[in-house]
């Protein structure tokens, strides 16, 4: 059990106290092809209704994405990504006070999303994909999530190998923080994500959760996104069976086990599909961390 350092994230009209309790980031995929709930919230009305629902259930952040980042997913254009997410962000911003995050790797999409009401950038490439992304983040003074990923969604799950899993991920994130600061971002608004499921095997993901505390020395808040990932499904399925569907109840139970492990090992934010189910888990885990 790891004691978490506390951080105060201040930006625009928002303040989040990180470490006193675990923050929930709710996932809202406005896509037809995400690995979980792909297509369910592709229609704008359905997406807005889901965002309002997650806010009511206790989400501290709503993370909206218009391009699937599942393994082997096809990329979409910035124009198509904006067509999917901008109307949803505009309508949701008008209805809830919950901070909205834009899950994108493209600076034009991030800019339009921030203009529409989003106020956090969640970049799975840690600002490496689009050279203009850091400038957009610095201009708007927005918090940024920097994630570790080996390769791209099209290549990341092709036999990933590490000589030193924890050391390599820590080194990657340390360098990502350094680059972000060099490009004008304040370390006080940087969040790191070790990238569960992004270029990792089942064993890699389990070790990463087990040794999450190795990232504490980077001195920034830690986000973990294990929700319904394939490593959970591979552990739970019968050896002779096909993959379990991501929406299967057992997968959600497995997700909550990984959420609990992440919190106990120092995660400040958990990114999940099911906010209502996650809230009791983190309440118990947070109470355990505070017990003396």
Let me know: does 224 contact 271? Beta carbons within 8 Å.
yes
The DSSP element (H or E) to which 24 belongs, if any, is strand 23-29
| 229 catalytic per annotation | yes
β-pair type (7-11, 14-18): antiparallel
Let me know: does 28 contact 65? Beta carbons within 8 Å.
yes
Catalytic residue among 4, 70, 229, 233: 229
| 283 catalytic per annotation | no
Q: How far is CA 178 from the centre of its chain?
A: 20
**Cα 50 to Cα 48: distance, rounded to the nearest angstrom:** 5
Which positions ≥6 away from 26 have C-beta within 8 Å?
51, 54, 55, 57, 59, 61, 62, 63, 272, 273, 275
DSSP character at residue 73? P
**Cα 68 to Cα 76: distance, rounded to the nearest angstrom:** 9
Angstrom CA distances, 156 to 39, 153, 227, 241, stand at: 23, 5, 18, 24
**Cα 292 to Cα 288: distance, rounded to the nearest angstrom:** 9
Let me know: does 99 contact 54? Beta carbons within 8 Å.
no
Catalytic residue among 91, 112, 170, 271: 271
Catalytic residues: 229, 271
């Amino acid at each position: 059990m790891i004691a978490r350092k506390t951080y105060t994230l201040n930006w625009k009209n928002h303040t989040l106290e990180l470490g006193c309790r675990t923050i929930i980031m709710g996932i809202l995929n406005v896509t037809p092809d995400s690995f979980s709930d792909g297509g369910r919230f592709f229609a704008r009305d359905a997406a807005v209704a889901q965002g309002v629902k997650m806010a009511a259930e206790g989400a501290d952040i709503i993370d909206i994405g218009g391009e699937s980042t599942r393994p082997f997913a096809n990329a979409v254009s910035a124009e198509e990504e904006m067509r999917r997410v901008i109307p949803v962000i505009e309508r949701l911003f008008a209805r809830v006070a919950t901070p909205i995050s834009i899950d994108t790797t493209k600076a034009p999409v991030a800019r339009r999303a921030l203009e529409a009401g989003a106020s956090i950038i969640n970049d799975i490439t840690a600002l490496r994909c689009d050279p203009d992304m850091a400038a957009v983040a610095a201009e708007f003074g927005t918090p940024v999530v920097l994630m570790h990923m080996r390769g791209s969604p099209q290549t990341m799950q092709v036999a990933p190998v590490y000589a030193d899993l924890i050391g390599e991920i820590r080194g990657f994130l340390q360098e990502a923080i350094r680059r972000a600061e060099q490009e004008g971002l304040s370390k006080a608004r940087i969040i790191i994500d070790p990238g569960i499921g992004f270029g990792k095997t089942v064993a890699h993901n389990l070790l990463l959760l087990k040794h999450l505390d190795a990232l504490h020395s980077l001195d920034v808040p830690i986000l973990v996104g294990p929700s319904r990932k394939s490593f959970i499904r591979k552990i739970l399925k019968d050896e002779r069976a096909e993959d379990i569907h991501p929406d299967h109840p057992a997968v959600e139970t497995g997700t909550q086990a990984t959420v609990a492990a992440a919190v106990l090992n120092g995660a400040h934010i958990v990114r999940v599909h099911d906010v209502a189910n996650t809230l009791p888990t983190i309440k118990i885990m947070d109470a355990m961390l505070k017990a003396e």
